[in-house]
Amino acid sequence: MAYLRGERQQTNLFPSSLEEYVGSEDPVRVYDAFVEQLDFPELGLILNDQQIGPPEFDPQAMLKLLVYGYAYGIRSSRKLERALYHNVSFMWLMGGLKPDHKTIARFRRDHREVLRNVLKQCVRLCLKLGLIEGNTLFVDGTKMRANAGMRESWSAERCQRALKEADGRIEKILRECDRVDADEEAKDSWVRVPGDLAEAKALREKVKAIYKELQESSKPSFNTTDPDCRHLQGRQGTHAGYNVQTVVDDKHGLIVQSDVVDDVNDRHQLENQTSQANGVLGKPCQTVCADAGYDHNRDWKEVEEQGIAVVVKPNDQGPLGPFTKDKFSFDAERDCYVCPEGHLLNYRFTEEKTQHRIYRIMNPKTCLGCVHYGACTKNRAGRTISRAPFEEIRKTIQDRYESAAGQAIYSRRQSRVEHPFGHIKRNLGVQAFLLRRFAGVRAEAAILASCFNIARMMTLVGVGALLPKLRTS
């Protein structure tokens, strides 16, 4: 059987313009039209064709390059530069412009806030197209590695240990200096000893500065490469990273809000992320749903006070039994608990750190003489119950979660809010941030969220139908 073979020396007649290389419904046209309809002054980027000085690359084109590159997992400035020479869609998008990797990296670094604001305009576009309702929102977080290594992370304990080792090395070098002074035959070591001493002193000063930074920031650790990242425990072990928070709309699973925080867990993020999402939507949502990681009474109360129904799976307070906390009724008027046998547990004190109120039997003999002593408690001081702040709201949240409507909403949570994380981490291969500090990682998270929304819009509407809507918006 004959084979079809290529011929590199064959003379071809190529189309006369780049426009003819890209089909009318090629996805790159959607990204081009999306950036064209953005309000650049609102983004914080002023376009001025009359500016004085040497010409620079068109900011619109540079933004198109970053958005399109991130949408296909091409984030490195060097890889983006290479694509401008080898990928026809990138050539078409840039109109033949070929900025080098330093120019691309500098534009991204200097316009981090612009990149972050792209998501807000993307959400408003989705609202205008009827793809986002904003009635029910889902909140979730994921851990993502920082552009920093664990070797550069310092805790107070590590600083103290390093200072002790540095002081010991300095003392050893000084003793060596004294020995050299007394022994003229070892003059050749004079070249090395002062250098070692200067190096040890420099290390000590560096560690002292890190230790001072730790004390001032009250953080448990400090990374010298990226000071804003934290030690996070994930499925792949402990690493330097960030907690990425995402708020997703229920209708089509489009991202409404994206943020990056340094909290090691999600407990304190429900009210914060919901408020930011409502600010982008321009109206309060009706319901917000999250998993058990967002179990926090204060956050629930603050969200509920805004007229928003919270659907969260409360964390279990231990195994059920005849003498668990749920079997003790709370009397708000008398500020006490009543045990199953009718005895009162009165308020004794409040824990300073957690602000939990501690309730205990006034007379320990009451518990010691009870037939259930040993099953209810083995403490000779009597049974103790801890009550967290705003615990009265837990019953409301528990009942709503267990209701038929609550279960229907919660059952949709995983398919909605986990989808963007799967697309970004698996399809795009984003396992770590390229930029550092909060300004950089929040810009990257926002642009990745925008790219997910654009890809989702093309799936829902279709490229052919979406293009006219973008051009007329």
Sorted by sequence, the CB contacts under 8 Å of residue 343 that are 6+ apart come out as 361, 366, 367, 370
Asked whether the whole model's pTM tops 0.75, one would answer yes
For the chain, percent of residues with pLDDT exceeding 90: 47
Q: Which of 39-43, 210-214, 393-397, 464-468 has the lowest mean pLDDT?
A: 210-214
pLDDT score of 178 more than 70: no
116-144 mean pLDDT = 93
Task: Report pLDDT for 412.
Answer: 92
Q: Which two tokens stand for residue 396?
A: 């409301």
The per-residue pLDDT of the chain, averaged, comes to 85
DSSP for residue 325: G
| Residue whose structure tokens are 């001025």 | 48
38-52 mean pLDDT = 82
Per the CB < 8 A criterion, the answer to whether 83 and 90 are in contact is: yes
How many Å from the N-terminal Cα to the C-terminal Cα in the chain?
Answer: 55
Task: Report pLDDT for 208.
Answer: 63
Task: Report pLDDT for 191.
Answer: 44
How sure is the predictor about 176, in pLDDT bands with cuts at 50, 70 and 90?
low
Taking the CA atoms of 11, 12, 17 and 19 in sequence, report the sign of the dihedral they define: negative
Sorted by sequence, the CB contacts under 8 Å of residue 68 that are 6+ apart come out as 28, 31, 32, 89, 90, 93
Q: Which of 246, 248, 250, 268 is nearest to 259 (CA)?
A: 246
Per the CB < 8 A criterion, the answer to whether 170 and 204 are in contact is: yes
How sure is the predictor about 324, in pLDDT bands with cuts at 50, 70 and 90?
confident
pLDDT, tens digit, for every residue of 228-245? 888 887 777 788 889 999
Give 347-413 as a DSSP string: EEEE-TTT-PEEEEESSHHHHHTSTTTTTS---TT--EEEE-TTGGGHHHHHHHHHSHHHHHHHHHH
Q: Highest mean pLDDT: which of 44-48, 285-289, 361-365, 380-384?
A: 285-289
How sure is the predictor about 451, in pLDDT bands with cuts at 50, 70 and 90?
very high
Per the CB < 8 A criterion, the answer to whether 466 and 27 are in contact is: no
Per the CB < 8 A criterion, the answer to whether 245 and 260 are in contact is: yes
pLDDT score of 217 more than 50: yes
Q: Residue 323: helix, strand or coil by DSSP?
A: coil
Task: Report pLDDT for 137.
Answer: 95
For the chain, percent of residues with pLDDT exceeding 70: 83
pLDDT, tens digit, for every residue of 16-39? 788 888 888 899 999 999 999 999
How sure is the predictor about 408, in pLDDT bands with cuts at 50, 70 and 90?
very high
pLDDT, tens digit, for every residue of 61-72? 999 999 999 999
pLDDT, tens digit, for every residue of 425-450? 999 999 999 998 999 999 999 999 99
80-105 mean pLDDT = 93
C-alpha distance from residue 41 to each of 21, 61, 281, 447 (Å):
32, 16, 20, 18
